[in-house]
Amino acid sequence: MAGKGKRGRPKGQQSKKCLIKDPLIAPYEIHVDEKHWNYILVNAKTQNVEGYYTQLPNVIRAIMREKYIPNNSPRTYTIREYIVAMTDLHNAMKELMVPVYNK
């Protein structure tokens, strides 16, 4: 009964139907798995999967948070630094998420 107890996709198998690649989110790219209705965040440089998301705004926010609020180590912010980082994050999200026809 080899293989009967295993569940899920075999390692390396992908069913992506769409790829989102944009200089604004580099070095990341988003693989859209339409079969399972999720977004897979991949570091394009290393080809490592960074996370799975069910909604596009959530994956975009994760990318922008990584770009504007690095978490390499525990960091202490002043109120001003934190507000500036959050403003930059908000503006980057707005740039990506607001449709062109609304500008």
Strands across the sheet containing 18-20: 18-20, 28-33, 38-43, 48-53
Mean pLDDT, all residues of the chain:
78
pLDDT range class, residue 31, cuts 50, 70, 90: very high
pLDDT at 67 over 90: no
Instruction: State the pLDDT at residue 10.
Output: 52
Angle subtended at Cα 39 by Cα 37 and Cα 43, rounded to the nearest 5 degrees: 155
Contacts of residue 40, defined as CB under 8 A and 6 or more positions apart, other chains included, come to 16, 30, 31, 32, 33, 49, 51, 52, 53
